[in-house]
Amino acid sequence: MKERSRRRFFTYLVRSRRLGRSLGVDLVPFKTCPYDCIYCELGRTTHKSATPEDYTPPKDILREIRESLEEISPPDHITLAGAGEPALHSRIGEVISGIKEMTDIPVALLTSGSLFWMKDVRASVQDADLIIPSLDAGDDPTFQCINRPHKDISFEKMVRGLSALRESYTGTLWLEVFLVEGVNAEEENILKIRTRAERLSPDRIQLNTLDRTAAESFVRAVPEDKMKRIASLLGPRCEVIGG
């Protein structure tokens, strides 16, 4: 998950290749996340959590979204993302339904995808128009290496959660795969990711790689020509969005 620029307290305006002009919304405190991805542009995770909590009251977040929308021309999306995992806000469902009552602008959710094994979390995001979870690994050793998840989240648990989301969610689902040279970008890694992705049947698969600083200095971008070869391995719904 990444994308940001000019900001108020919870909201910021950002442009990205895939979502156009977007009003980003932060729901949780900085680097509150179930993952500590080696490639995270925000640095190492300072509050690793797998337990949703009642952070900022939705009414305060919704008030700022309303004020921001009054100040700017309508964005292409309102995107729940930011400096941590939005689904760790236990009242994310109220935020989404409040936005839907306020405007017809589509709501996108950028998420690690690591919490959907919890029924309440799945239920709370059903009204989002677009969900973009990450899937950076096809097996547990790679998952541990690249995402460094909270101890309560195994690879199989995370993938079971994504499958359960796919079964219940009727909106648009794009998978984001972040590739790191020497970690998850060899054919063996990609074929395992493909197997998992096929079961989820996403509407798109988007490949990303490093184009800025990362949490760990050893993280290297995958070269452009290799990104294209990997995209062809993942099939016609796959596109390169970064690198």
Interacting residues with ligand SF4 (CB under 6 A): 1, 33, 35-37, 40, 42, 45, 84-85, 112
Task: Provide the token pair at 135.
Answer: 């899937």
Q: Which CB sits closer to ligand SF4, 11 or 35?
A: 35
H/E stretch holding 172: strand 172-179
Residue whose entry in the numeric block shows the structure tokens 């690591």? 114
Q: Which CB sits closer to ligand SF4, 34 or 58?
A: 34
Q: Which CB sits closer to ligand SF4, 58 or 82?
A: 82
CA atoms within 13 A on the CB side of 10: 24
What is the closest distance, in whole angstroms, from the C-beta atom of residue 48 to ligand SF4 in the complex? 9
What is the closest distance, in whole angstroms, from the C-beta atom of residue 184 to ligand SF4 in the complex? 13
Helices 92-102 and 58-71 sit at what angle, rounded to 10 degrees? 30
Dist CA 59 CA 29 (whole Å): 17
What is the closest distance, in whole angstroms, from the C-beta atom of residue 2 to ligand SF4 in the complex? 7
Q: For residue 138, what is the DSSP state? A: S
How many CB atoms are closer than 10 A to CB 229? Answer: 14
What is the closest distance, in whole angstroms, from the C-beta atom of residue 74 to ligand SF4 in the complex? 27
What is the closest distance, in whole angstroms, from the C-beta atom of residue 101 to ligand SF4 in the complex? 28
Q: Which CB sits closer to ligand SF4, 49 or 126?
A: 49
Task: Provide the token pair at 123.
Answer: 């239920």
How far is C-alpha 52 from the chain's CA centre?
16
Q: Which CB sits closer to ligand SF4, 45 or 79?
A: 45
What is the closest distance, in whole angstroms, from the C-beta atom of residue 70 to ligand SF4 in the complex? 29
Name the residue type at position 54: D
Dist CA 162 CA 182 (whole Å): 26
Q: Which CB sits closer to ligand SF4, 17 or 59?
A: 17
